[in-house]
């Protein structure tokens, strides 16, 4: 009788153990997510809380239809503070009308130009460039940071045409960045294969930072474990004509607005002359965002895009600055695969100051 009693009792209490395990799993997963959100909130001023309270730092810019910063906001955390001007750019407040005698330079591009890892606006290479030009030439320069994270070349052209051109820049420096790579990873539909018609599936919410952090920091683990069904795109065989066309359109747009256009080739942290292991580590974020390319594919695609920039500059007789040949790779100048560290921002600002003077670009503008 006694044994039966214990048996019954233990059975009664056994089910809650499994339930406790499941609850614990949910609690741990939620706790990790909360920690990731708090970390992001304090470091970058962005979290699910800012989303929920509609205090997102982004809004749609009426003039361009693009998502830019909300005008005149300051946000961020311990590691980074971003201040936007009344145009939604990470730049000083500049009047539309250029003061007489001033030289205006617009630097256009994406997150690298915006200063993805610059702790404050004054540490972006655009801001540093303005300081250096003013100090070294003793003439008044205004440099507008026209970069915004995530913009493709087509969007950069629209931003220039509808907003940046209104500042009447004397010089426009174009650093296109790598956002156009992502378009290559959307697989084309195979017309001859019969496709299933699945129901909509439930996806992980995009605001989950714990998953993003995990995936971002473990690219190297997956690099050797690419699935059978995941096709790696051949960067040599890839059709980059859309990129070339978009580049042509940008140059055409710049030409319309009477500004001296300077094309800058894109630089990256990982380089072919580094040891393979270093290249793999340094390229992790690039491989995370461009998951359909392996390391050599990324090198090749990068070279092909830069070749397109070089060819466009030659074809249209534009000034070309080769940053990819100049800035050393590695962690000193890059915070990840393609964004500059603060030392990198400083390096680029110095280099541009020197190039603008030595190339005669500034003299040309003065004429």
Partner 1 sequence: MSFQSFHFLMFLALVCFAAWGFGKSINTRNNILLAASYYFYAAWDWRFTCLILLMTGINYFAGKKIAQSRNESDQKLWMIMAVIGCLSILAFFKYFNFFAEELSALLKKAGLGENHDTLKLLLPIGISFYTFQSLSYTLDIYRKHLAPCQSFRDFALFVAFFPTVLAGPITRASQLLPQLREPQDLKSQHVEQGLALIARGFIKKIVFADILAAGLVSPAFDNPSDFTSVFLLLALYAYTFQIYMDVSAYTDIARGSAALCGFRLPENFNRPYIASTVSNFWQRWHISMSSFFRDYLYFGLGGSKRGNVYLNLMLTFLAIGIWHGAGWNFLVYGMIHGGAVCFDRWKRSQKGSNESISKLGWLLGVGVTFHIVVFSRVLFRAPDLQSAAHYMQQMFSSTGTQFLLSWPPIIALTVSAALHWAFPHTSRNFIAIFIKMPSLIQGILLVAITYVLMALTTGTAPFVYFQF
Residues that bind partner 1 (CB under 8 A): 11, 14-25, 27-29, 32, 192-199, 201-204, 211, 214-215, 218, 221-222, 224-230, 291
Rounded to whole angstroms, the maximal C-alpha distance in the chain is: 107
Closest CA to 267 of 343, 199, 177, 137: 177
Helix (H) / strand (E) containing 23: helix 2-44
User: Residue 227 or 241: which CB sits closer to partner 1?
Assistant: 227
Please tell me the distance from the alpha carbon of residue 363 to that of residue 367, in angstroms, as a whole number.
6
- Asked if 124 contacts 178 with a C-beta cutoff of 8 angstroms, the reply is no
Token readout for 351 is: 């280099």
Min dist. Cβ of residue 191 to partner 1 (A): 11
User: Residue 135 or 226: which CB sits closer to partner 1?
Assistant: 226
Pairing of strands 58-60, 67-69: antiparallel
Min dist. Cβ of residue 110 to partner 1 (A): 25
User: Residue 14 or 139: which CB sits closer to partner 1?
Assistant: 14
Min dist. Cβ of residue 44 to partner 1 (A): 23
User: Residue 167 or 288: which CB sits closer to partner 1?
Assistant: 288
Token readout for 89 is: 């750019």
Q: What is the CA radius of gyration of the chain?
A: 25
Please tell me the distance from the alpha carbon of residue 79 to that of residue 33, in angstroms, as a whole number.
20
User: Residue 226 or 245: which CB sits closer to partner 1?
Assistant: 226
Min dist. Cβ of residue 21 to partner 1 (A): 4
Min dist. Cβ of residue 19 to partner 1 (A): 8
User: Residue 187 or 255: which CB sits closer to partner 1?
Assistant: 187
* Residue found by looking up tokens 């690419």 in the block: 226
User: Residue 39 or 83: which CB sits closer to partner 1?
Assistant: 39
Min dist. Cβ of residue 199 to partner 1 (A): 5
Token readout for 273 is: 């002359």
Closest CA to 247 of 270, 266, 234: 266
User: Residue 16 or 65: which CB sits closer to partner 1?
Assistant: 16
Please tell me the distance from the alpha carbon of residue 4 to that of residue 10, in angstroms, as a whole number.
10
User: Residue 52 or 221: which CB sits closer to partner 1?
Assistant: 221
Token readout for 217 is: 């920091």
User: Residue 24 or 49: which CB sits closer to partner 1?
Assistant: 24
Q: Which neighbouring-strand residues pair with 74?
A: 83
Tally the residues of the chain: 367
Min dist. Cβ of residue 178 to partner 1 (A): 21
């Amino acid at each position: 009788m006694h044994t039966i009693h214990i048996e019954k009792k233990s059975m009664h209490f056994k089910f809650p153990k499994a339930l406790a395990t499941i609850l614990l799993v949910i609690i741990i997963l939620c706790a990790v997510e909360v920690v990731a959100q708090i970390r992001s909130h304090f470091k970058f001023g962005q979290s699910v809380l800012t989303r929920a309270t509609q205090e997102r730092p982004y809004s749609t810019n009426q003039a361009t239809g693009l998502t830019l910063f909300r005008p005149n906001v300051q946000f961020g955390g311990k590691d980074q503070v971003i201040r936007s001007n009344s145009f939604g750019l990470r730049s000083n407040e500049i009047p539309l009308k250029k003061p007489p005698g001033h030289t205006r330079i617009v630097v256009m591009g994406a997150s690298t130009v915006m200063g993805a890892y610059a702790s404050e606006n004054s540490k972006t290479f655009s801001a540093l460039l303005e300081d250096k030009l003013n100090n070294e030439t003793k003439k008044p320069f205004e440099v507008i940071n026209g970069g915004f994270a995530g913009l493709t070349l087509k969007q950069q052209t629209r931003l220039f045409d509808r907003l940046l051109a209104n500042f009447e820049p004397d010089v426009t420096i174009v650093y296109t960045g790598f956002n156009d790579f992502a378009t290559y990873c959307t697989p084309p539909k195979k017309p001859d294969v019969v496709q299933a018609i699945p129901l909509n599936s439930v996806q992980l919410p995009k605001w989950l930072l714990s998953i993003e952090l995990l995936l971002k920091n473990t690219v190297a683990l997956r690099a050797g474990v690419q699935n059978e069904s995941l096709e790696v795109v051949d960067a040599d065989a890839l059709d980059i004509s859309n990129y070339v066309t978009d580049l042509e359109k940008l140059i055409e747009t710049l030409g319309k607005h009477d500004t001296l256009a300077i094309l800058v080739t894109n630089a990256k942290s990982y380089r072919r002359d580094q040891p393979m292991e270093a290249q793999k580590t340094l390229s992790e974020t690039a491989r995370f965002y461009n998951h359909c390319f392996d390391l050599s594919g990324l090198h090749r695609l990068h070279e092909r895009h830069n070749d397109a920039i070089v060819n466009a500059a030659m074809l249209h007789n534009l000034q070309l600055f080769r940053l990819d040949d100049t800035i050393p790779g590695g962690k000193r100048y890059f915070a990840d695969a393609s964004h500059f560290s603060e030392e990198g921002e400083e390096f680029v600002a110095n280099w541009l100051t020197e190039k603008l003077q030595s190339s005669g670009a500034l003299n040309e503008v003065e004429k």
